[in-house]
Amino acid sequence: MVHDTDTVISVKGLTKSYGNFQAVQGIDFEVRRGEVLALLGPNGAGKTTTVEILEGFHHRDGGEVTVLGRDPSHRDRGLRAKIGIVLQECAVDPFLTVTEAMHQRAGIYPAPRPVGEVVELVGLEAKQGAKIKTLSGGQQRRLDLGLALIGNPELIFLDEPTTGFDPSARRESWDLVRGLCDEGRTVVLTTHYMDEAQALADLVTVIANGKVVASGTPDNLGGRDAGVTTVRFTLPSGVGLDDLPIPGGCFPRVQQRAVEFSLPDATVFLHDLTGWAVARGERLEHLTVQRPSLEDVYLALTDDCVGDLERLNGLVAVEEAVRLHPSARGSSDGDRTDPSA
């Protein structure tokens, strides 16, 4: 079998059990040079097991795995010199200073980056001489990231790298990761933050119960691009549902005066709706048009209830709307008290 030289990670039919517990039950994916793969999934889904097999910490039970063209289970040092690892816990001796820890790690690698450069890259210049135990949680995570980069790795594993960061520190880390990819490095990221996956990932693979339940780009994962669009607004006073230009077969959900339409394609409806409002001189307060967020898709994918995903795809939107709000069917009596009716 010929490997594409651009393929950095290739996983086929990976399995791993701990006793009777099947942690990984046949996972496949591929990552190419310069890409960011985000592995998403609930705790215990098999993400960490998968990543730790790629990192060479654990042996697999079955399947084919290559990392930079080699089998990570052989634990050869040449391979380890080309990968950088950030684990979930900050694991550095607390009594060393930032620069000492960097120099210690740099001394292990055949071609390390200059310590000063990496300290600057992770924004710890002001803390160079400080003992690690005096750093804040976020600073320790940045040190962790720096230690993973000091060996000038081609491939970097980041396990929940921005947990505990303040919003601006997260943005800075995202810029840093994007910079790594621009340099042609490859990143495998596990995260619980959907905005992080959305911001960084070229590919998203969702793992649940040891299996890949979906993979794609952040924008098309789980049929997200083909899913329903939701239009919401507040019904203007003195207007009933009957007055709205509702397309045939579409039933709104109503709560108080908030109206919600779910449609496979909202283009025509929005045109009709806003045209109608302008013609009548009404304002559509709180008007929003929303596609399912990555988080919506993720929750639907990892929820055992299949119905959620179907709903997202608009397959059962109509039935459900009717079931939940029978009063909404083609009439406005749910929200209007007109004594003359």
Which residues lie near another protein (CB under 8 A)? 18, 55-57, 77-78, 80-81, 83, 85, 87, 89-93, 95-96, 100, 104-105, 107-110, 131, 147, 151
Minimum distance of another protein from residue 110's CB (angstroms): 6
By beta-carbon proximity to another protein, the closer residue of 131 and 192 is 131
Minimum distance of another protein from residue 213's CB (angstroms): 24
By beta-carbon proximity to another protein, the closer residue of 80 and 232 is 80
By beta-carbon proximity to another protein, the closer residue of 153 and 252 is 153
Question: Distance between CA 274 and CA 282 in Å, rounded?
Answer: 9
By beta-carbon proximity to another protein, the closer residue of 151 and 227 is 151
Minimum distance of another protein from residue 332's CB (angstroms): 57
Minimum distance of another protein from residue 54's CB (angstroms): 11
Amino acid, res. 296: D
CB atoms within 10 A of CB 181: 17
Can you say whether the dihedral through the CA atoms of 156, 162, 165, 168 is positive or negative? positive
SS3 state at 118: helix
Element (H, E) at 121: helix 115-121
By beta-carbon proximity to another protein, the closer residue of 79 and 266 is 79
Minimum distance of another protein from residue 30's CB (angstroms): 22
CA nearest to 224, candidates 296, 132, 174: 296
Residue at token pair 């607390």: 94
Q: How far is CA 233 from CA 289, 320, 336, in A?
A: 9, 20, 17
